[in-house]
Structure 1
Amino acid sequence: MRVIICGAGQVGFGIARHLAAEGNDVTVVDRSSELIQRINNTLDVRALVGHGSHPQVLEDAGAEGADILIAVTASDEVNMVACQVALSLFSVPKRIARIRDQKYLEKEWKDLFSREELPVDVIISPERAVADQVMRRLEIPGAYDTASFGNKNIQFLAINLDENCPVLETPLKQLTDLFPDLQATVIAVKRDGKLFVPKSDDLMMAGDSAFLVTASEDCDRTMTIFGHEEQEARNLIIVGGGNIGYHVARQLEKNGVRNSVRLIENSEIRARNIAETLSDSTVLLGSGLEPDILSEAGVRDAEILLALTNDDQVNLLTTMLARNEGCERALCLINNTSFLPLGQSIGLDISINPRAITVSSVLQHIRKGHVLAVHTIEDGEAEIIEAEVLETSAFVGQKLRQLNLPDTMRIGAIYRNDEVMMPRGNFEFKVGDRIVLFVLTDAVNEAENFFSVGLEYF
């Protein structure tokens, strides 16, 4: 597949890295020669300096024969124009644009993005997607990564296992005997830095990270069985009143649960605007790096602090200050994954990588087969894919044991007629089933073929 990516920032870099690793023909365009040099030095892609919406630049990038254009520059307007030029002049079949300004996405302007107006096939809103991920982490405390599938009837959970986990050193095949009615599947384990699909005789050990897929109705029970009984926080501090922080505060108010929310924002104009639109939250003017402001927000009594600014260093330092002042837990945004070890060393409970979330939003729209959702995990080491079984799929009419899935894949759950089903050896797949599949990144192309073609392909 030939892909043009306009924008070489964190998001563009992440998408290019992921697609290039899968063998796609990728070209990246950006006005910054420094960012293009970084791309050239680290990725096996073609990179050009230029304005992503200029016709000549897109022609030089190979737009004439491109399969898809992904516009993720820092400018919404450049992204929109790039999509328009890609269709009008070069007939690029699919166009994806990142739109950050929520005013473009309001319901009254829903007809703006159409083939007749602005031909954008897919709109990704990173800030909204990240805010939704923050909300999921708050709803499932104890999990350091989550995602919903099957119309929110299926949950993916990533959890750390400590010495108090009740099922340590229990063979995975015995979990079904111990909990016969539990709708949960261990799809992967990370141990000593290595991510792998476990076999039925494998044991889980203290220090492992376990990756599970469970029916949403069994989520709390699954967390308890794996040693996590944390309570959902009601007393929160949000640092950063940008689109993400504001959306989280607003969603907390909409949920109907009485939360105590204090939001800290260092821009006076932004703080005033937020205060006028939030009804039950307290807005404080200042920086999360100021101990006096944190104290005024009640950091010592807070159950969790959410560091949601667009600056990794500010988020990490704010977290450090909050933990030193006695805040129970902390969650922060980290774009640069090299900071993750530092976060763990200062007691960071949960981190969220906005780049990874945006990459996931893009991938679901460029996968082969009828892919409904994609969630990348462990900085792109693997993906959770939800896809529908088509008539041509290798799954149709096959029982699970007959498929002989490779060690790089594991089915977590099946969604059929509004019912969640767990994968068992005699389970037979039908057209229309929605399968939630774990797959290591190196095997993604093989997984796509399972969904889109028959067994004779193999």
Structure 2
Amino acid sequence: MKVIICGAGQVGFNIARYLSGEGADITVVDRNPELVQKISDSLDVKGMVGFASYPEVLEAAGARDADMLVAVTYADEVNMVACQVCHSIFGVPTKIARVRNQSYLDAVWSDLFSSDHMPIDHIISPELEVAKAIERRLQVPGAFDAIALADGKITLIGVRCTAETPILNTPLRQLTDLFPDLHIVIVGIQRDGKGFVPSPEDELREGDDVYFISDSRHLLRAMASFGHEGQAARRVVVVGGGNIGLNLARTVEEKHPHVNLKLIEVDKKRAETVARDLEKTVVIHGDALDNEILEEANVKAAETMIAVSNDDEVNILASLLAKQQGCQRAVTLVNKTSYGPLVGSLGIDAVVSPRAITVSTILQYVRRGKIRSVHSLADGFGEVIEAEALETSGLVGSPLREAKLPDGVLFGAIVRGDEVIIPRGDTVVRAKDRIVLFARANAVKKVEKLFSVRLEFF
């Protein structure tokens, strides 16, 4: 597969890292020579310095025979024009653009990106995706990640093991016997900064970050097995009234009307704009690092503080101050990758990475075959993939114990109609089953082949 990536920032770099590691032919275009040099030195990709929307630059990057364009520069307009040029002049089949400005995404202008106007196949809005990701986590107290799969029938959960986790120091193969109503499959463990796919003999330890797949109907029971039995938050304080904070507040008002929501915004004009846009949320103008403002927001009585301002340092410090005052849980947006490991040790409960969320969203459009959704875990550790089993797949018709799965692949769940099946060795996959599995990064291409229409794609 030949892919042109416009933009060598964090998102462009990580998309290039994923795809080049899988053997794709990647060309990255950016007008910043330093970023191009960095990506060329770090990855097996071709780097080009140039303005990503210029036809001659795209032609030099190989647009005439490219399979896909991923436009993730910092300028929405450059991303959109690059897609238009690649469609009108070069006929690139798939075009993905990151669009940040919410004005372009207003439903009033929904025809803008149609095939007759500006043909972009998939639009990624980081602000909307991050707001959705945080709203999902609000529904599962104790989880640092929560992703609905298979139309909500399955949930992927990320949770940290503490000293109170009841299933510590127990071989995973014994969990079914000890907890027969525990409908989960543990697919990945992060320990001391390293990730691995667990074997039946592995045990969970305090401090582990565990990813498991659960039947959504049994989610409360699954969380209780990790020592988290709290109800969804009813009192929430949001720091930051930017696009993420505003979209999050809108979503909470719409989907969780029982939640008492307060939003702190330091800029007066923006606070006034947000207050006009929201119906029930109490908007407070002030500095979230000011104890008086935190007291006005009554953070000591809040179950959750969500810090999503444009400043990482403000997010981190506001979260720590809120917890110091008595807030039960802090969810913190952090853009700088170097802060990630530090934040967890400070006592912040969940870190939100816009870069990681954007990369995950883009990957689901890059993957081939009957792959419905993709979620990247722990900065490249692996991917949770939801796919449809085809009649031509070698998985169909035989017990899973006989399936020749690549190393680093673990089945998490099978959805057959309305039935959720936790897979065992004697489980037989049928055509049209929706399968949720985990794959280490180096096994993803092999998983794609398992779910591809052979004559169409290979």
Match of residue 121 from structure 2: 121
Could you tell me how far apart the structure 2 residues matched to 1:351 and 1:229 are? Answer: 21
Pairwise mapping of residues 47-446 of structure 1 onto structure 2 (< 5 A)? 47-446=47-446
Structure 2 Cα separation of the partners of residues 109 and 120 of structure 1: 14
1:217 match: secondary structure: helix
- 1:24 aligned to 2:10? no
Match of 1:40 in 2: 40
Task: Compare 17-26 and 217-226 and name the one that shifted more.
Answer: 17-26
Pair 1:174–1:365, CA change in 2 (3 A):
same
State how far apart, in whole Å, the 2-side matches of 1:116 and 1:234 are: 45
Structure 1 residues 247-282: Cα deviation after superposition (integer angstroms, max 9, x where no partner): 111122112432222111122222111101212111
The whole-number CA distance in structure 1 between the counterparts of 2:311 and 2:255 is 28
CA contact (8 A) 1:162 1:207 kept: yes
- Deviation, 1:389, is 0.9
Letter of the structure 2 residue corresponding to residue 340 of structure 1: G
Q: What's the CA shift for 1:428?
A: 1.2
Verify the 8 A CA contact 1:394 1:453 in the aligned structure 2: no
Q: Do 2:407 and 2:443's aligned partners in 1 also have CA atoms closer than 8 Å?
A: no
Measured on the aligned residues, the alpha-carbon RMSD in Å equals 1.8
Q: Is the 8 A contact 1:356 1:380 kept in 2?
A: no
90-99 or 184-193, which moves further after superposition?
Answer: 184-193
Structure 1 residue 380: Cα displacement: 1.4
C-alpha distance in structure 1 between counterparts of 2:136 and 2:256, whole Å = 16
Q: Answer with 81-90 or 341-350: which moved more.
A: 341-350
Q: Residues 44, 313 of structure 1: CA spacing in aligned structure 2 closer, same or farther, 3 A cutoff? A: farther
Alpha-carbon displacement from aligned partner over 1:266-299 (angstroms, at most 9, x marks no partner): 2222211110121211112223233332232223
SS in 1 for 2:227: coil
Do the aligned partners of residues 415 and 255 (structure 1) sit closer, same or farther apart at CA in structure 2, a change above 3 Å counting? Answer: same
Give SS of 2:159's match.
strand
Question: 1:177 & 1:406 partners in 2: Cα distance?
Answer: 27
- Aligned mates of 1:294, 1:29 — CA distance in 2: 44
Q: Please, which moves more after superposition, 11-20 or 318-327?
A: 318-327
> 1:415-444: per-residue Cα shift (whole Å, max 9, x none)?
111221111112111111111010110111
Q: Report the more deviating stretch, 137-146 or 314-323.
A: 314-323
2:371–2:385 CA contact under 8 A, matched in 1 = yes
Name the amino acid aligned to 1:434.
R
State the shift of 1:73 in Å: 1.7
Distance 1:18 1:160 in 2: 26
1:359-394 Cα deviation digits (max 9, x unpaired): 111111111211100000111111000011122212
Decide whether the 8 Å contact of 1:8 with 1:73 is kept in 2.
yes
In the TM superposition, what is the alpha-carbon distance from 1:403 to its structure 2 partner? 0.3
SS in 2 for 1:97: strand
Write the distance in 2 (CA, Å) between the matches of 1:62 and 1:266: 46
SS across alignment from 1:365: helix
Cα distance change on mapping 1:438 and 1:293 into 2, 3 Å: same
The normalised TM-score by structure 2 is: 0.94
CA distance in 2 between counterparts of 1:292 and 1:277 reads 25
Q: How far apart in 2 are the matches of 1:223 and 1:17?
A: 34
Establish whether residue 2 from structure 1 lines up as the match of residue 2 from structure 2: yes
Q: TM-score under structure 1 normalisation?
A: 0.94
Q: Secondary structure at the match of 2:330?
A: strand
Deviation at 1:453, TM superposition (A): 6.2
Residue identity in the other structure for 1:204: L
* Deviation by residue 1:74-106 (Cα, 9 ceiling, x = unmatched): 222221111010011111111011122233233
Aligned partner of residue 182 in structure 2, secondary structure:
coil
Q: Percent identity?
A: 50
SS at match of 2:232: coil
Secondary structure in 1 aligned to 2:87? helix
Q: Is contact 1:394-1:452 (8 Å) kept?
A: no
Is the contact made by 2:241 and 2:309 (CA closer than 8 Å) also made in structure 1?
A: yes
CA distance in 2, matches of 1:27, 1:415: 38
Q: Distance in 1 between matches of 2:276 and 2:248?
A: 16
Q: Which amino acid aligns with 1:68?
A: M
Count of aligned pairs: 454
Contact 1:48 1:61 in 2 (8 A): yes
Counterpart residue type for residue 197 of structure 1? V
Residue range with higher mean Cα deviation, 218-227 or 46-55: 46-55
Mapped partners of 1:34, 1:57: distance in 2: 18
Determine helix, strand or coil for the equivalent of 1:452.
coil
Contact 2:406–2:446 under 8 Å retained in 1: no
Which one is further off, 271-280 or 295-304?
A: 295-304
